[in-house]
Amino acid sequence: MTKARSLIFGSVVVASMIFGGIISATIFYRTSLPFNVIAASTVASPSPGPFKSNETTAHEAGESAAQEAAENNGTFRPGGPGGPGGGPSNETAAHEATESAAREAGEKS
């Protein structure tokens, strides 16, 4: 084998190794990406747990028996009848006159 042929053969071997490394790195990156994204999203945003009742003495003194029962059976809605941050209920006569029976039933549940 001449020196020129050896140099060409060596260059082809090195180029194929570099090309193979790039292809394998790309395939490895693409196959591992969804696992990394899923792991990052589960760590970054923990899911809220079920409502936990405030059982301190000061809190219990200011609450009705119905509210305590609702907290204990899991039907209590923090923030009022509208749910979290819902504020006070709109049960005025003017509001009720514009409401259908189905909507009123939905508010009660």
Q: Please report whether residue 85 resides in a domain.
A: no
pTM above 0.95, yes or no: no
Please give the C-alpha separations between residue 92 and each of 54, 96, 102, in angstroms, as whole numbers: 30, 6, 17
Residue 49 in domain: no
Residue 22's pLDDT band (cuts 50, 70, 90)? very high
Q: Considering only 4-8, 20-24, 55-59, which range has the smallest mean pLDDT?
A: 55-59
Domain membership flag for residue 70: no
Domain that includes residue 16, residue range = 1-40
Whether residue 100 is contained in a domain is answered as no
CA atoms within 13 A on the CB side of 86: 13
